[in-house]
Amino acid sequence: MPRFLKGMAFVPFLLVTWSSAAFIISYVVAVLSGHVNPFLPYISDTGTTPPESGIFGFMINFSAFLGAATMYTRYKIVEKQNQTSYFSTPVFNLVSLVLGLAGCIGMGIVANFQELAVPVVHDGGALLAFVCGVVYTLLQSIISYKSCPQWNTLSTCRVRMAISFISCAAVIPMITCASLISITKLEWNPQEKDYAYHVVSAICEWTVAFGFIFYFLTFIHDFQSVTLKISTELNNDI
């Protein structure tokens, strides 16, 4: 295994690479199949029609699992760091974890309920994933600043906060413009009245999604010093 993946660093690395592949593969298959316009489809548009819907569902489900594993590991890291040298209330870390896991549940909903089949459930899952995900990154950025310089470098804190601010700035117009669109469809014509809303919302959606990916990339260094131990105990009272 490469040196930069020592410890538990492979978990966020796998999350980043797998999620990136999920978005890219689904997009390529959807475009080559002629199911979506190559110019700025929604992420969910690329996972609505077979065969890309199967690829999208499987890969996003696993991304949600990897995301939950990464967030829980991050929670335990911060908990241990805080016990060593107190820098923040444990509740702050716990709230961050709960919101992050809620976002992962939202990802699972998005993966399993297609956009055109059950739009209300799908959109609810997307809203849960994006909003909780953005708040999670913001809270983790604040925790990073509180633990600086002992557990994080100032440059890492600045990168995390910058990604958080960009994601926060993008998620608001994403939701606003999406709510103004009167119809759910896969193919758009520039002459349609809601086309501008679609373009703005899609740009913001891709921005937030890859913002999450780049954010988890910053966790790799923190996870290098973490090891996972599994202990097994056998009882002889059977």
What pLDDT is attached to residue 1? 61
Q: What is the C-alpha to C-alpha distance for residues 153 and 145, in angstroms, rounded to an integer? A: 9
pLDDT-based confidence at residue 190 (cuts at 50, 70, 90) = confident
Top pLDDT among 2 and 90 is at 90
Q: What is the C-alpha to C-alpha distance for residues 176 and 180, in angstroms, rounded to an integer? A: 7
Q: What predicted TM-score, i.e. pTM, was given to this entire model?
A: 0.92
pLDDT-based confidence at residue 183 (cuts at 50, 70, 90) = confident
- Percent pLDDT > 90 in the chain is 73
What pLDDT is attached to residue 54? 94
pLDDT tens-digit series, residues 122-156: 999 999 999 999 999 999 999 999 998 888 899 99
What pLDDT is attached to residue 3? 65
Cis preceding linkage at 2, omega within 30: no
Mean pLDDT across the stretch 109-131?
93
Is 170 exposed, middle or buried, given 0-12, 13-18 or 19+ CB atoms closer than 10 A?
buried
Angle between helix 119-146 and helix 90-112 axes, rounded to 10 deg: 150
pLDDT-based confidence at residue 210 (cuts at 50, 70, 90) = very high
- Percent pLDDT > 70 in the chain is 97
- Give whole-number Cα distances, 188 to 41, 185, 196, 207, in Å: 9, 7, 10, 20
Mean pLDDT across the stretch 182-195?
84
Q: Which residues of 22-49 are buried (b: 16+ CB within 10 A; e: fewer)?
A: bbeebbebbbeeebbeeebbbbbbbbbb
In this structure, how many other beta carbons lie within 10 angstroms of the beta carbon of residue 74? 25
